[in-house]
Structure 1
């Protein structure tokens, strides 16, 4: 059994997979509130790595790159309940609840330490997944508004994230790419996050770095892997996903082609 997603409403789903692990470099178009029911999740953002387990509750901001690696654990699949906090729903909420919003630093995901308010709210969704028909919109709206209200109660700064509906503007290509090169994303997504069309992104990239995006990304990822293996004494199998490669054998081939020796030789 592979990856399964069960929707009871467009904004409410139950995700499950039973494979050894599932890795994705993600860019969510809307905020996601996630409750880990079973399994374990590893999140890599920039040079920070975080581990979460069953019971933890996370909020992933929209338009932020993050690497997520999910693992089954204790013989149980990785399973999570997910609530989408869409732009339209948040706009409707904040039209009724006016707030003053200030600009924030680029947001990072938030962890809520199994807060009982949120756990109770998300746990109450589980019986609905036994329904044979979609969850009525009025009930879904009540549950999502409850979650938003709880977030505002336990995090006084959350309005500055949830009520900010700005789209990415044109920013420094050098600064952004140096911080986010390890994310394996389509080029048009990199362009969007830097406030550029795909054509403008490629043109500006060539002018800035004197090479193509794909060549530059591959070299940067290999250099990061080299650092982790040599300086931090980590195994190639531990780092290839984190630095943006999808396949261990392809990583080994690219590494040897670039450096002249295999990563396993250096690790040994």
Structure 2
């Protein structure tokens, strides 16, 4: 399982010992991550990213993705993550003069090796040896240090970090066709499309003439069938990326829908 040594809620160390840890994720806050060991795949609607030892990435808030963490070379997956809460960012930027207007880049950002980032994450590692929680004042300083370092090496990051808006209303059909494979509650889909749950259900039925739950199952099963037949994947390889929580639920739903088990395709 994903074990976190949280010495402060916004600065955490993740460690995964098992073969593969898979989950759907949506970051509530912009999060800066550095890989310590192992490997992580992040699958978004338009791209798959692979992060290894030493890689540093910035995941924007409300980024819907699948995350697969795995040990490698005999070592567990381990990383350090620093979350930049909206409240802290507002306080930080309230003190910044003459901030240039930037269009926010809401895609996952990767950073090449940089002395400032390397020394920053190295300074965080000893905190996870503490038996007590990291004091608030120190955590505040380290989080602000991280923001300052990002600003010094990425002149466009202000556009992302100062975007405090909530998701606006987007085209429902376009969004769902791109993101149906993410196993998220309908309430989360409604939020990310800029709708209340009632409006989401109403707009969905108007567009598809079927309930969101039934449509999602059908689309995920169709994707799974394609991966099994065209890509010669095994059921254990497709259930998660198709949006199912576990193999048994996937196999049951697949057989109920198609009339035969997924193992019969190959």
Please say which of residues 55-64 and 254-263 is displaced more in the overlay. Answer: 254-263
Question: Residue 116 of structure 2 corresponds to which residue in structure 1?
Answer: 117
Question: Residue 230 of structure 2 corresponds to which residue in structure 1?
Answer: 231
Question: Residue 11 of structure 1 corresponds to which residue in structure 2?
Answer: 10
Q: Secondary structure at the match of 2:156?
A: coil
5 Å-filtered alignment, 1:74-93, equals: 74-93=73-92
Q: Secondary structure at the match of 1:80?
A: strand
Once residues 236 and 33 of structure 2 are traced to their aligned partners in structure 1, the CA distance between those partners, rounded to angstroms, is 27
Any conservation in 2 of the 1:101–1:164 contact (CA below 8 Å)? Answer: no
Please say which of residues 191-200 and 112-121 is displaced more in the overlay. Answer: 112-121
Question: Residue 240 of structure 1 corresponds to which residue in structure 2?
Answer: 239
1:73-98 CA distances to partner (integer Å, 9 max, x unpaired)?
Answer: 22322211111101011111211124
1:23-68 CA distances to partner (integer Å, 9 max, x unpaired)?
Answer: 1111111111111111111111114222211221121110120110
Any conservation in 2 of the 1:57–1:119 contact (CA below 8 Å)? Answer: no
Unaligned residue ranges in structure 2 (runs of 5+):
none
Give 1:216 shift: 0.5
Please say which of residues 225-234 and 236-245 is displaced more in the overlay. Answer: 225-234
Any conservation in 1 of the 2:102–2:156 contact (CA below 8 Å)? Answer: no
5 Å-filtered alignment, 1:8-157, equals: 8-98=7-97, 99-104=99-104, 107-157=106-156
Give the alignment's TM-score, normalised by structure 1. Answer: 0.92
Q: Secondary structure at the match of 2:254?
A: helix
Instruction: Tell me the matched-pair count.
Output: 265
Change (3 A) 1:166 1:101: farther
Once residues 48 and 232 of structure 1 are traced to their aligned partners in structure 2, the CA distance between those partners, rounded to angstroms, is 18
Give the alignment's TM-score, normalised by structure 2. Answer: 0.92
Unaligned residue ranges in structure 1 (runs of 5+):
none
Once residues 102 and 74 of structure 1 are traced to their aligned partners in structure 2, the CA distance between those partners, rounded to angstroms, is 41
Any conservation in 1 of the 2:41–2:50 contact (CA below 8 Å)? Answer: yes
Q: Secondary structure at the match of 1:84?
A: strand
Once residues 137 and 36 of structure 2 are traced to their aligned partners in structure 1, the CA distance between those partners, rounded to angstroms, is 25
Any conservation in 2 of the 1:59–1:110 contact (CA below 8 Å)? Answer: yes
Change (3 A) 1:101 1:231: farther
Any conservation in 1 of the 2:187–2:197 contact (CA below 8 Å)? Answer: yes
Give 1:226 shift: 2.1
